[in-house]
Amino acid sequence: METILFYVLAAVTLLSAIFVVFLRRPVHNVLFMILTMIGLATLFILLQAEFLAMVQIIVYAGAVMVLFLFVIMLLNLEEVSLPKEPRPLRWGFGIILSLALVVILFPVFGRFVPSIVGTGQPEGIVGNVSNMELIAKELFTTYLLPFEVASVLLLVAIIGTVVIGRKFTKD
Amino acid sequence: MVTLEHYLVLSALLFSLGMVGVMFRRNLIVILMSLELMLNAVNLSFVAFSRYLGSIEGQIFVLFVMVVAAAEVAVGLAIAVAVFRQRGTINVNDISLLKW
């Protein structure tokens, strides 16, 4: 059951990721990106990371992708002004290059994986402590400083966005 | 039985797809989206490692990656809007002032 579910979800995620990269219109890219995010969120649930699955849907599918959509609407790109995509030769070159990357990444995994899987059964959730509780405990004890720094980073991003996005008035 | 390797292979494929998008698309917004795709591929392998190593740390790092990704997208899109106002295009071939 889990295996079938994994393959279906992986197929959906991969296909929509392919559409994200290869479709020409930005709005279609965004819509397929949302599908990719939802697929990843369900994969997270399969991996017993329920909290992250929820965050993934709320933050990515809910906020980030809406931001993308909003900017695309705001720019109101004409069909003529859509960037011309590079020639087929360059596409072929790119696809070969990325396949090479896949080949490079695979043997690395092959070396790592057996030793890790050999260390024992996946534990995931210990006892009746929920995933969210575990994350919260770690986040507010061991990783408290990075957590606070992350909030500062978000504040900086907000201010930066406002400053950059402001309309400059020449006087 | 789904093993760690399955997730890592999926993650590698997603990452490579994202790289194709970053390197060979000319639309700034699509490039930003492909960057998100790469970050999400890394997130997936983080969560998979967290599950199969029985440790929660991977998921915490995913949270931090999400924070950085959100900040990056907000600033990146603001830059895209500013560039479009200034130059009337978001084709990265036309915005090559700083290119050597």
A39-71 tens-digit pLDDT: 999 999 988 888 899 999 998 888 889 989 888
Model confidence band, residue A122 (pLDDT cutoffs 50, 70, 90): very low
Q: What are phi and psi of B91, to 5 degrees?
A: -75, 120
**Terminal-residue alpha carbon distance, chain B:** 51
Mean pLDDT for chain B overall? 88
Nearest chain B residue to A16 by CA: give it.
Answer: B14
Q: Does A125 touch chain B (CB under 8 A)?
A: no
- Taking the C-alpha atoms of residue A42 and residue A50, their distance in angstroms, rounded to an integer, is 9
User: Are A81 and B89 a contacting pair at CB < 8 A?
Assistant: yes
**Nearest by Cα to A164 from A60, A32, A71:** A71
The domains of chain B are located at 4-87
pLDDT tens by residue, B43-58? 999 999 888 888 888 8
- Asked if residue A170 has pLDDT above 70, the reply is no
pLDDT score, position A124: 47
Nearest-CA distance B4 → chain A (Å): 7
User: Are A17 and B51 a contacting pair at CB < 8 A?
Assistant: no
pLDDT score, position A160: 92
**Nearest by Cα to B75 from A59, A153, A147:** A153
- Asked if residue B4 has pLDDT above 90, the reply is no
**Terminal-residue alpha carbon distance, chain A:** 67
Taking residues A138-154, what's their average pLDDT?
Answer: 91
Mean pLDDT for chain A overall? 80
pLDDT score, position A139: 87
The domains of chain A are located at 1-104, 128-171
Query: Which of A106-110, A112-116, A154-158, B52-56 is modeled with the greatest confidence?
Result: A154-158
CATH architecture assignment, domain A1-104: Up-down Bundle (1.20)
- The complex's ipTM works out to 0.90
- Taking the C-alpha atoms of residue B15 and residue B21, their distance in angstroms, rounded to an integer, is 10
With respect to CATH, is domain B4-87 assigned 1.20.1250.20?
A: no
